[in-house]
């Protein structure tokens, strides 16, 4: 049965593929490659215990008491659902599993809305719920890099949905940047946080102009390019890093750098995806070329 959110059914992942790491131990073996972008550690009992040892509040977010081993097993299944493209199941399961579960739930919501959910009210409602969920996780487990990153990710996607200018007026930009900078302070090799910061700088400069962006938000085109390049250095096989770099160039420079953007889309579209999220990234890059 398809998982439900407050306003309806989840749209199914539209591609037939056999992503890496669905059965048994295969997910653990593929984990490092699948999570090179976000640096999420494998969710075993030791990981659960370490997070909760640093923050008693993180355990209090659990919907029901769970031993570390049982919680770890359920987290693995939530991530397995995410990687195969069952974003509704990942969202539903993750919400029950405390701060660590909020990471997979928030990421599932963000990816799903980015690529699959076209119903504007439902997309915004889901993202708003994910923003609150991940904000609670980041507050309860301040040392959890991906709680901060995923909070910025879903808040950024919500900002794009309501328009960047409205989001700026609401103060979302400051919150997004603070969460991303916190994620990078905790995990400097977080390629996905570098991508998001690159997009932060590029979108603001593109919307309000270089002078206002620098004076009001500390955003510059130079910083955008620096973050995009660092993301690709950290994760050269990332389709989303190349695609967002291309989007950033177009936001900053328009047709003046369109040829470079096209080359980045071509690289992104040529990668072989390992899971559902990467398949959606690659297909989007190919669509941009079309």
159-194 tens-digit pLDDT: 888 877 787 788 888 999 999 999 999 999 999 999
- Whether 11 has a pLDDT exceeding 50, the answer reads yes
Interval 44-53 mean pLDDT = 96
pLDDT at 19: 53
206 contact partners, CB below 8 Å, separation of at least 6? 251, 252
- Whether 145 has a pLDDT exceeding 70, the answer reads yes
Burial of 30 (0-12, 13-18, 19+ CB in 10 A): middle
Q: Are 180 and 225 in contact (CB under 8 A)?
A: no
Interval 103-107 mean pLDDT = 98
Interval 70-77 mean pLDDT = 97
pLDDT at 252: 96
pLDDT at 165: 76
| H or E element, residue 31 | helix 26-34
- Whether 33 has a pLDDT exceeding 70, the answer reads yes
Interval 50-72 mean pLDDT = 92
Q: Are 167 and 183 in contact (CB under 8 A)?
A: no
| Nearest Cα to Cα of residue 219 among 229, 228, 208, 231 | 208
> Directed axis angle between helix 68-84 and helix 26-34, to 10°?
70
CA dist 263 and 115 (Å) reads 22
- Whether 134 has a pLDDT exceeding 50, the answer reads yes
- In the block, tokens 């297909």 appear at 283
> pLDDT category, 68, cuts 50, 70, 90?
very high
> pLDDT category, 6, cuts 50, 70, 90?
very low
CA dist 118 and 256 (Å) reads 31
Interval 253-269 mean pLDDT = 97
Compute the mean pLDDT over every residue in the chain, rounded to the nearest whole number: 93
pLDDT at 3: 42
pLDDT at 17: 66
């Amino acid at each position: 049965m398809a998982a439900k959110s407050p306003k309806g059914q989840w749209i199914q992942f539209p591609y037939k593929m056999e992503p890496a790491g669905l059965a048994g131990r295969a997910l653990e073996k593929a984990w490092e490659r699948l999570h090179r972008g976000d640096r999420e550690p494998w969710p075993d009992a030791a990981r659960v215990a370490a997070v909760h040892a640093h923050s008693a509040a993180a355990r209090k977010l659990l919907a029901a008491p769970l031993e570390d081993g049982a919680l770890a097993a359920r987290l693995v299944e939530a991530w397995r659902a995410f990687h195969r493209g069952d974003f509704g199941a990942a969202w539903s399961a993750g919400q029950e599993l405390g701060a660590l579960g909020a990471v997979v739930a928030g990421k599932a919501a963000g990816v799903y809305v980015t690529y699959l959910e076209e119903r504007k009210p439902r997309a915004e409602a889901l993202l708003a719920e994910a923003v609150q969920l991940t904000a609670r996780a980041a507050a309860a487990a301040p040392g959890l890099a991906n709680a901060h990153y995923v909070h910025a990710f879903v808040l950024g996607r919500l900002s794009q949905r309501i328009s960047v200018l409205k989001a700026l007026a609401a103060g979302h930009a400051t919150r997004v940047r603070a969460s991303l900078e916190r994620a990078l302070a905790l995990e400097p090799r977080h390629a996905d946080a570098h991508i998001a910061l690159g997009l932060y700088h590029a979108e603001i400069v593109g919307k309000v102009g270089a002078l206002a962006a620098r004076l009001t938000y500390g955003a510059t085109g130079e910083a955008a390019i620096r973050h995009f390049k660092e993301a690709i250095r950290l994760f050269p096989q990332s389709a989303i890093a190349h695609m967002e770099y291309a989007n950033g160039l177009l936001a900053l420079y328009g047709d003046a750098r369109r040829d470079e953007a096209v080359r980045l889309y071509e690289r992104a579209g040529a990668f072989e995806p390992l899971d559902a999220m990467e398949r959606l990234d690659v297909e989007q890059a190919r669509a941009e070329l079309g």
